[in-house]
Structure 1
Amino acid sequence: MQYIEGGVTAAKGFLAGGVHCGIRKNKSKADLALIYSEQMCTAAGVYTQNLVKGAPILVTQKNLENGHAQAVICNSGNANTCNADGEAKAWRMCEIAADALHIDPNDVIVASTGVIGQILPIEPIENAAEALVQSLSETGSNMAAKAIMTTDTREKEVAASFVLGGKTVTVGGIAKGSGMIHPNMATMLCFVTTDCAISAAMLQKAIKKAADTTFNMISVDGDTSTNDTLTVMANGAAENAEITAEGAAFDAFCEALTAVCKKLSMMMAGDGEGATKLLICKTTGAKDWETAKTVAKSVICSSLLKAAMFGEDANWGRVLCAIGYAGADIDIHKVDVAFESTNGRVDVCENGAGIEFSEEEAAHVLHTGEITILVDLKDGNAQAEAFGCDLTYDYVKINGDYRT
């Protein structure tokens, strides 16, 4: 497998684009995105676990009941959530895209992101339909990635290819997510495309498997959003033998899909609102994956640890504290902790107790944009990774007046 350029349009047969339609006041900011496959796709999705779900999720879930889709339409600037007319507006977005593309509205995935509880104006989307379709191109992934951003500071695009049965298969995706991010699923939208031939049932199994170890392992601020959506469309243009059951071909596809999702997850975590550092907690030596996952997520969710990482303070006690309340069955007297970055590594705790280390060396290790917190439980061979960011002054500033 190798990473390539192209994002959501890297796979054969996919076009994407984005325009400013007028939902956002800033005319320089694109706010409407479209992704389109020239062939019908098998499709699957996973969504927020929040009981409050955005109207677009409810419509998308209905549309994907048959396991097929051909397009994605998404607006930013308004979440279309907690509105009496929300589902009608979300369905109207499907109709708008379908009319412009000459496809069935039931084959459209719809998503929205932005402020909750404000009525979504549909007229700007209707008026921009022609321009949106005209913006579609084989190199339009970046335009679409820009159009779905809210408080993100940069676009998030990834693609990878691998050989399957002599055929080159590509998986690509775009995502948005910066704040209101917490497992399970983050405040995120992610649209993945692939030219792999795979059944809808296996595609659903693959996307769930990928999400469990990637998007469901992110936390920025502990808030679970209402509009989280991860979808994947597979059009079969790679002409590989269709994947209809588990086996070597399915495993290879899952590896590529997970790799793309992991890259996008790390981009989200590193672009957390106000963040200056990407944090990775790698838990090893666990007796099973559930234990490793629980510990890694607990550490990455600790506000005290996140603040310490912002201050470049190797306060390992906060790591041990987060492990202690994680709810995992571990022996805290076996735990080792270290901090690692491109600036080196510093061991700070062995067998649940502090050891001597240089504070100057530790500060140097933490003085970088990506820090790995290494936790060894010394109780088995399972491991897991969770992704987050530091907690900064700017996070409060951004969210203090997000709506107004």
Structure 2
Amino acid sequence: MIQAITTNEIIVSEKESVTLPKGYKAGGMHCGIKRKRLDLGYIVSDVPAAVAGVYTTNLFQAAPLLVTQESIAKENKIQAILVNSGNANACTGEQGLADALTMQKEFAYEMGIQDHLVAVTSTGVIGELLPMGNITNGIKQILQKEYENEENFKKAILTTDTSTKEIAVQFTIDGKTVSIGGAAKGSGMIHPNMATMLGFVTTDANIAHEDLLSALREVTNTTFNMITVDGDTSTNDMVLVMANGLAENNELTKDHSEWDVFKQGLQIVCESLAKKIARDGEGATKLVEVKVNGAFSTNAARAVGKSIISSNLVKTAIYGTDPNWGRIVTAIGYSGVPVEPTAIKVSIGPFTVFENGLPSQFIEEEVKEYLESENVKLIVELNQGDSCATAWGCDLTYDYVKINASYRT
């Protein structure tokens, strides 16, 4: 359990997530989309909650995203999220749209709420129709007590993930204990171009929709938009934040004296989930962090970081424990950011490998040994200004090819 709260201190627990905030429950079951594993999950709030979302920029947005965005636009509130895995319901035409609406309607009926208060989302194989008989049967049963289990929810949203991803934090606002919890899935089709995965964040904070959306967008730019696994941006993925107000703090806005506390808590949750997704990249063996310092703007620092973390040559070199700094420098050079090559310094962990436009002297065996660790850091000093950014990704392995070569079989 989470320890006692002290004023403005953010306490982190990775043992509880979306049901830690007051008034939430979650669950999941196997309804028959997949052969054996759990494939249908839900989060529900005791009361309608303010909601904010960010969505994939892929032009082939899946039917559930279209339904969810249209529903949220009605009053910027939802009370439930229904998720299926194993089938993306993407590129499925009018039938796919009708199926997403049926999922929403059926779950709303079971809960006794209006249809637009249910967000729906799907993840899995693209281009196949949902087995709606299995899903509707599952919806009729899923709210039974036997399926109410947060662990079930976290497992029901997974596809090729090797582990669940969750985090929760607590802090005080106006003397009230406020909680933020998060759970996510993501392993492949991950690229820094929001959205990059499925992320579900709950909070009992009392906060206006406009300010919640502003905070989510700002935090997304430094977390979910700064990870990559394989350079592919999915058709389905989104991040939703629900805020039901049951902590009973005074309404949070940007003018609130403790606004930054809330935003820091949201940052911690989203960054943790983003890093767990990057580390769980399909076939990955290492989490790779790229820190870019000394840029002339934050956008420039982000562009350089994304360029490096997205490079397949950098990723394969890290997998092979090859301190090939030339690949890092090359990625900086094609990032689109005007840099001065003779001003740049590149380090692999504590080892400087490139400086002033020339290779540095280093002992290759020492750098190779460092690259064998599960957490690898690359540091780039541009020496152009005071801005910085961090990006996260993973190595690229033989197993990534194996997983994706047989994804549908």
TM-score with structure 1 length normalisation? 0.96
Q: Write the letter of the residue equivalent to 1:9.
A: T
**How far off its partner does 1:241 sit?**
0.5
- Say if 2:105 is the partner of 1:95: yes
- Residue in 2 aligned with 1:7? 17
Q: Write the letter of the residue equivalent to 1:269.
A: A
Deviations 1:251-304 (A, max 9, x none): 221111111000000000000001001111011111210111010000000000
**How far off its partner does 1:245 sit?**
3.5
- Residue in 1 aligned with 2:156? 147
Cα separation, partners in 2 of 1:283 and 1:176, compared to 1, 3 Å: same
Residue 18 of structure 2 aligns to a residue in which SS? helix
- Say if 2:48 is the partner of 1:43: no
Residue 356 of structure 1 aligns to a residue in which SS? coil
- Say if 2:391 is the partner of 1:389: no
Stretch moving more, 240-249 or 141-150: 240-249
Residue 143 of structure 2 aligns to a residue in which SS? helix
Q: Of 101, 126, 132, which residue of structure 2 is paired with 1:122?
A: 132
Q: Of 343, 346, 350, which residue of structure 1 is paired with 2:351?
A: 346
**How far off its partner does 1:136 sit?**
7.6
- Partners of 2:195 and 2:373 lie apart in 1 by 25
Native 8 Å contact 1:142 1:157 kept in 2:
no
User: Where in structure 2 are the equivalents of 1:63-82 lying within 5 Å?
Assistant: 63-65=71-73, 66-82=75-91
Native 8 Å contact 1:2 1:160 kept in 2:
yes
- Partners of 2:147 and 2:387 lie apart in 1 by 44
- Partners of 1:353 and 1:169 lie apart in 2 by 51
- Partners of 2:169 and 2:147 lie apart in 1 by 19
Could you tell me the percent identity over the aligned residues?
48
**How far off its partner does 1:137 sit?**
8.0
**How far off its partner does 1:123 sit?**
1.2
- Partners of 1:78 and 1:8 lie apart in 2 by 23
- Residue in 2 aligned with 1:105? 115
Native 8 Å contact 1:282 1:386 kept in 2:
yes
Native 8 Å contact 2:203 2:244 kept in 1:
yes
Q: Of 272, 275, 281, which residue of structure 2 is paired with 1:263?
A: 272
Native 8 Å contact 1:42 1:233 kept in 2:
yes
- Partners of 1:22 and 1:39 lie apart in 2 by 30
- Say if 2:69 is the partner of 1:61: yes
Q: Write the letter of the residue equivalent to 1:91.
A: L
- Residue in 2 aligned with 1:284? 293
Residue 180 of structure 1 aligns to a residue in which SS? coil
- Residue in 2 aligned with 1:230? 239
**How far off its partner does 1:104 sit?**
1.2
Deviations 1:197-229 (A, max 9, x none): 001111111111111111111111111110011
- Residue in 2 aligned with 1:177? 186
**How far off its partner does 1:381 sit?**
1.6
**How far off its partner does 1:310 sit?**
0.1
**How far off its partner does 1:250 sit?**
2.5
- Partners of 1:327 and 1:246 lie apart in 2 by 37
Native 8 Å contact 1:48 1:226 kept in 2:
yes
Q: Write the letter of the residue equivalent to 2:360.
A: I
- Say if 2:319 is the partner of 1:310: yes
- Partners of 1:144 and 1:302 lie apart in 2 by 34
Native 8 Å contact 2:20 2:179 kept in 1:
yes
| Unmatched tracts of structure 1, length 5 or more | none
- Partners of 1:186 and 1:371 lie apart in 2 by 25
**How far off its partner does 1:247 sit?**
4.5
Native 8 Å contact 2:196 2:224 kept in 1:
no
Q: Of 376, 379, 387, which residue of structure 2 is paired with 1:374?
A: 379
- Partners of 2:329 and 2:267 lie apart in 1 by 29
Q: Of 28, 41, 64, which residue of structure 2 is paired with 1:33?
A: 41
| Unmatched tracts of structure 2, length 5 or more | 1-9
The count of corresponding residues between Structure 1 and Structure 2 is 397
- Residue in 1 aligned with 2:5? none
- Residue in 1 aligned with 2:345? 336
- Residue in 2 aligned with 1:209? 218
- Partners of 1:209 and 1:258 lie apart in 2 by 9
- Partners of 1:83 and 1:362 lie apart in 2 by 49
Give the root-mean-square deviation of aligned CA atoms: 1.3
Q: Write the letter of the residue equivalent to 1:393.
A: Y
